[in-house]
């Protein structure tokens, strides 16, 4: 059965989650972040994901914008910046308009030209996603933007991956699911999707019940992969 639909994770896959801290450090008044932004960005992202998993396990859902703020507060305190309210506000504003990775627009256009339907399946709230995708200039390439808020739980709960079939009427094996999170690509493979892990950092695969079917260094090779899948 051939792939009918390409579904993307958003944050870290299409959108550069490190850009908020990087841009804040480079902007006027960003001296406090000059030597810290990479560590801050890593801490922020790690806690953001950890809080989604922990809230799912605890049955204590909060939307991704709240989780994003909670994770930033932890990261700022860990770096000795907890009292800088202006920096916090600047980082959150930048997070709402993260840029896409450089290859993303051309890749989405190529997939469209080859007849693939395109969608996002993200932990992000509908409002977060609408703002970020419009700011990044890629909203027009997408046939649907699916948020976990429709399921009330974060990835990798199966109820989240169920949203794809419910929206498009596809069988899991007709979906190429693309994520820069190795655990997400592995969970998607366990669910039944054909999966591609965009392993930008060259990390080893997670030891989970399934592994991604394909591993790419970035999204550039995706149109050919989708055509062959």
> What's the CATH number where 164 sits?
3.40.50.1000
Q: How confident is the model at residue 29 (pLDDT cuts 50, 70, 90)?
A: confident
CATH number for the domain that contains residue 24: 1.10.150.240
For all residues of the chain together, what is the average pLDDT? 96
Tell me what the mean pLDDT of segment 197-213 comes to: 97
What pLDDT, on the 0 to 100 scale, is given for residue 227?
81
Scored b (16 or more CB within 10 A) or e, 172-184 reads bebbbbbbbbbbb
Note whether 118 and 142 are within 8 A (CB): yes
Report helix, strand or coil for 185. helix
Q: What is the pLDDT of residue 165?
A: 98
Write down the pLDDT at residue 83.
86
Out of 9, 43, 63, 184, the active site residue is 9
Say whether pLDDT at 1 is over 60.
no
Instruction: With residue 179 as reference, give the H or E element that holds it.
Output: strand 175-179
pLDDT at 162: 98
* DSSP string over 41-106: HHHHHHHHHHHHHHHHHHT----HHHHHHHHHHHHHHHTT-TT-HHHHHHHHHHHTTPPBPTTHHH
- Cα–Cα distance, 83 to 67 (Å, whole number): 19
Give the number of domains in the chain: 2
Q: Specify whether 218 is catalytic.
A: no
Region 148-166 average pLDDT = 98
For residues 222 and 201, membership in a common domain is answered with yes
Q: Which residues pair with 100 in a beta bridge?
A: 15
Q: Which of 70-74, 79-83, 141-145 has the lowest mean pLDDT?
A: 79-83
User: Does residue 75 carry a pLDDT above 70?
Assistant: yes
Establish whether the linkage from the previous residue to 156 is cis, with ω within 30° of 0. Answer: yes
- Tell me the per-residue pLDDT of 101-135, one tens digit each, with 9 for 90 and over: 999 999 999 999 999 999 999 999 999 999 999 99
What is the C-alpha to C-alpha distance for residues 122 and 173, in angstroms, rounded to an integer? 19
**Average pLDDT for residues 224-228, to the nearest whole number?**
86
Same domain, 67 and 31: yes
Residues 134, 106, single domain; the answer is yes
């Amino acid at each position: 059965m051939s792939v009918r639909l390409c579904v993307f994770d958003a944050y870290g896959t299409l959108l550069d989650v490190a850009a908020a801290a990087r841009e804040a450090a480079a902007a006027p008044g960003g001296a406090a972040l000059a030597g810290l932004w990479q560590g801050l960005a890593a801490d922020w992202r790690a806690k953001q994901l950890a809080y989604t998993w922990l809230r799912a396990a605890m049955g204590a859902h909060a939307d991704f914008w709240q989780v994003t703020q909670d994770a930033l507060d932890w990261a700022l305190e860990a770096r000795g910046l907890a009292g800088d309210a202006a920096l916090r506000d600047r980082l959150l504003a930048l997070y709402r308009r993260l840029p896409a990775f450089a290859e993303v627009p051309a890749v989405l256009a190529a997939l469209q030209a080859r007849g693939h339907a395109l969608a996002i399946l993200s932990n992000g709230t509908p409002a977060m996603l609408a703002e970020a995708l419009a700011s990044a200039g890629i909203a027009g390439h997408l046939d649907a933007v699916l948020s976990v808020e429709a399921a009330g739980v974060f990835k990798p709960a199966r109820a989240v991956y169920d949203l794809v079939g419910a929206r498009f009427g596809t069988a899991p094996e007709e979906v190429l699911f693309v994520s820069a999170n190795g655990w997400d690509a592995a969970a998607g493979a366990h669910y039944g999707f054909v999966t591609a892990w965009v392993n930008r950092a060259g990390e080893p695969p997670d030891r989970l019940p399934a592994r991604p079917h394909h591993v790419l260094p970035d999204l550039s090779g995706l149109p050919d992969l989708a055509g062959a899948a």
